[in-house]
Chain A
């Protein structure tokens, strides 16, 4: 229950931040990626704001015995650079550039442009299912 409420609060803050920062508008995101054209630097400010707050949060982690609402920290531990990581990131980047949407804004935009956002989200989940099916 406490975990669910914490998760809901995090998701809601996240969705509000995406909308406020303009990231739920694919035109603005594509404007940021249009570095050699009519560049819109707004996304750099979004990233900057988020990175500063999270950099502070990471400084607090070592001082905590455990998370406030959970038993243990469960953080990624991999450090290897693999073709899979780089190839996957490149494919993601191409998809991001094509329509100006990544997973968070796509899901958040379900209340802004329901049909368009749903097409993107369903296709995204299908892509995830494809990886799951081929890798078992």
Chain B
């Protein structure tokens, strides 16, 4: 009786425990999302403050639809892991969006309505080996009917995925295109032919300008502007003319008020030489933005042009058949660009002509973060040199590398003071068509904003020490005429400028979103071994190939030297012997070549098998030895004890 009661009570208690366990975990499953410790090095699973700020500002719902061919992804295991990261990130967005972010994950299975939906939404399908379309992209729809599409998400963009998504959300909530005001002596909007030629279809805007005009409300500032209006979101200053104090003051105040600017100045702007014309004044070849740059803690020396031997572009000069290195025209590869900054991270190559160098001024309160740098094989020239000599080889002959890289483009951030501590400058009639009148306080550029002595928030400016980056001749090829005209970029110059503007155009929250390290962490040691082996292999195999060719050539020669030509029957014994030797040599060389190839991976194989041994057997052997000794000691002790007894 008692036993039965105990059994019933025990059974009930067990059932209660099971129910408690289930309930607690069901609640935890729903209620405890987001309580986590992120142990990853780059805090991969934690949203940056910038994203959180963007999401916190949402007051209307945004829907993010992820089109992901989950069923097809089974064929690509590596991609599955990446897609997990993407859905995790979307999940984090949803949590931080406090109900204003809706996430839908759609699997556009082949031959279904959802597949049509994905295609209609602008998601790019990629053909799989089995012939079906694989989709992986995001469509965002906003409260005011806006739509933004990320047609395809690739693993190499992973470090910037959070930035891309946040940018998508920001542009979905933006009500109008941001205003980009341009200050430039170059006719970016109509091209060198001028407005009349443009009307006749004979001239066209700069390609980079056209790219910007698609994204922004771009307005060219008149040369006699007196202020930067409050409606302006960003400034793009490209090869500025000599600005008068009131204009500089206007720019100064714009930036201090949190306005963002992309500045392009140049010690030698080759692009300007196209402005030369009959009767026109000689073009302005040099530009700067002093005293503003100085106030921002940087300096672009207009008396120095930077050359880099390793990045030099090859040019053909009259009278020389071989192309020669022109050290001041630089082909800047990915390696010389900042991988961690969203402006340059995705670019492959930028072409730069006769750039200057950016350096930090002593005691600067700002941080200068290089975006594009030269190699250490670089030096500074006097721009006069370029105009005097017509021969690139002269530059090469006198080349003495300074051993340190120069910064060609940089991001400048931090707090700054005004370049006009005495307030708005008074200007005379000579300086400006809008002179300061007697008894009037100049308030140019400050009409709609308070005059500031120092920056309200840290400034954020991107500076290029080269204007030619924007020159179409440098980076695009044109095909066709008129309506058929097509622009084919040879380098990423346009993207560089658009990225810089786009990054600065975003809210400061967006700029603050850092990139994360790439997910891939390769076996560097093995890769290194592979590289070494390949290098060795290449040298040796070239050697052997040459030997092989030489021997084969000798065989040919011997054959044709036979009396009666190649088909001759009578062969001297000597020739026959030489032929046999040569043939044997060919066989031996071929074998050696094969051996070299086979030995290519021998170092790696050795390393791998060593590591396999250490990890599979070594520790087990150590444990076995320890166990053996311990049992030996025990046995001895036991015996000793027995002996005593």
Interaction A to B:
no
